[in-house]
Amino acid sequence: MIELPASFLAMPRWWSEGHEWLTGLPAAVEAQCDFWGLRADGDVLHGSNAIVLPVLRDGVRLALRMSPPGAEVEDQARALRWWAGRGVVELVDAQPDHGALLLERLGEPLTEQPLDEVLGVLGQLIRRLAVAPDPESRSTADIARVRGVQLGPEYERLGRPFDPAYLRAAERIADELSTAVTDLAVNGDFHADQVLRGGREPWLMVDPVLYRGEIEYDLARVLWTNVDAMPTGGAILEHFGTVVETAGLDRDRARAWVVYRTVDYWLWGLSAGLTEDPVRCARLLGTFL
């Protein structure tokens, strides 16, 4: 029976929920391995809400991902089926009601590479995933429309924590973004921590979230997860340009999404008690506004 890493057990999401699932997880992994005919082939890896166990089946190297059962697992399986291995990890089998996904085995994370390569790869993957959209998936335009009207009240509730010019810009831009100018498949959880070395393709995404609309949507996350390695505003703009050019994005639309989503994330981060992320958001907005 597997041993769960202490770093996984210490994740903030388990502070108030999930204790019963964690207690039963080692036995659930063993049962899933028996069901799919798997044999453990390495140490347990993890993210914030899932573990990944390297496994073998008939000599084939695979990965068993286990997370709390629910709609999120079903949505992830649907996203993987939609992209069908194009720029994403290949889904071998799934039992969402058990929180189990059986995936192809991937290698080291993209984050181990130099920043210039990281951003170039991310730009290529943004374009690689830009296939015809799933008509049933959530629209980036709807996200901007719904969230845009919530920014002002949240800003007031949090005590007006930053320059009101940032809020006004985000509200204006959210209104613009509420009408999509493109309709493509979008990964709504796009950043370098979700990219691993592949065999079929050089780099592959894991844990995608399937939206539809404008592929410029998640460029803000690409920047704020790497901004600590960008010492100046000029460096931020240079790296922004790298992703825009590599992915073939509309530069003005990309800038608009960066501004709107950075304000959104700043407010969310303050609500969640984050300390470092609001500082990153301030740097991005100071560069783009």
Q: Which residues are catalytic?
A: 189
Is residue 175 within 8 Å of residue 252, measured between CB atoms?
Answer: no
CA distance 18 to 23: 9
Report helix, strand or coil for 152.
helix
Interior/surface letters 16-29, b for 16+ CB within 10 angstroms, e for the rest: eeeeeebeebbebb
Amino acid letter at 183? D
Instruction: Retrieve residue 35's tokens.
Output: 């069901």
Q: How crowded is residue 288: how many other Cβ atoms within 10 Å of its Cβ?
A: 19
CA distance 263 to 26: 40
The number of C-alpha atoms within 13 Å of 119 and in the hemisphere containing its C-beta is 24
